[in-house]
């Protein structure tokens, strides 16, 4: 049954092996996949990136295609999964930034720091301005939620030295964050 369905439908492996057929297939389907992703993400950059990911996944896993005559529903399914993964990853990254700001006790009485794009950029600038060891220690401790012991192990330092490093990093981050936000 599956073989007869494949013989009536699109042979994706043959399309992937033939440059002309692949180009025709890609030119027919990619605008629809892109439009789907753009309509749901609202971002051209995200839609472009995810469209590339969809076709890479399709090329890497042609066996997951069920042999229908139109591969577009399959590609849209991949796109839906990629978009959901992107949203989850974005939410996790946002949570990590929020956690870092909460942990170093940077607060802005006018607004919660992570609610504006400007504040998120200030966090990035403040982190980037730290010496690399301090930046890594903060990220391990507060974004990755590692214990001081685990951070010490990762950095190859004693726990006391790591606690001191994290304390200095928090102070430097808070100072730099305030400088960046006050400069605006």
Q: Which DSSP category does 116 fall into?
A: S
Please check whether residues 67 and 39 belong to one and the same domain: yes
What is the number of other CB atoms lying within 10 angstroms of the CB of residue 165? 22
- Show which of 62, 92, 122 is a domain's final residue: 92
- Show which of 52, 72, 92 is a domain's final residue: 92
Residue 45 lies in a domain: yes
List average pLDDT for each run of 10 residues in the chain, which is 184 residues long: 42 85 93 92 90 94 84 92 84 72 56 55 84 83 85 89 93 88 72
Residue 99 lies in a domain: no
* Tokens linked to 97: 């930034």
Please check whether residues 116 and 65 belong to one and the same domain: no
What CATH number is attached to the domain comprising 116?
Answer: 1.10.10.10
Please check whether residues 141 and 84 belong to one and the same domain: no
Angstrom distance (rounded) from CA 34 to CA 68: 21
Q: What pLDDT does 76 receive? A: 92
Domain hosting 130: range is 104-183
Q: What is the number of domains present in the chain?
A: 2
Residue 98 lies in a domain: no
Q: What pLDDT does 70 receive? A: 86
65: left (phi over 0), alpha (psi -120 to 50) or beta: beta
Please check whether residues 6 and 87 belong to one and the same domain: yes
- pTM, two decimals, is 0.53
């Amino acid at each position: 049954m599956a073989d007869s369905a494949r013989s009536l439908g699109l042979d994706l492996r043959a399309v992937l092996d033939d440059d002309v057929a692949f180009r025709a297939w890609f030119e027919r389907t990619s605008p629809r996949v892109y439009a789907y992703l753009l309509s749901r993400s609202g971002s051209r950059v995200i839609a472009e990136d995810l469209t590339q990911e969809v076709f890479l996944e399709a090329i890497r896993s042609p066996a997951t295609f069920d042999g229908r005559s139109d591969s577009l529903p399959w590609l849209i399914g991949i796109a839906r999964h990629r978009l959901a993964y992107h949203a989850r990853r974005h939410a996790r990254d946002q949570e990590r930034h929020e956690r870092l700001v909460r942990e170093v006790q940077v607060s802005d009485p006018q607004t919660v720091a992570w609610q504006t794009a400007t504040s998120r950029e200030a966090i990035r600038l403040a982190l980037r301005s730290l010496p690399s060891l301090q930046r890594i220690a903060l990220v391990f401790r507060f974004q990755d939620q590692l214990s001081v012991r685990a951070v010490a192990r990762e950095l190859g330092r004693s726990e006391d030295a790591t606690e001191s490093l994290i304390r200095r990093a928090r102070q430097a981050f808070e100072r730099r964050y305030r400088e960046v936000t006050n400069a605006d």
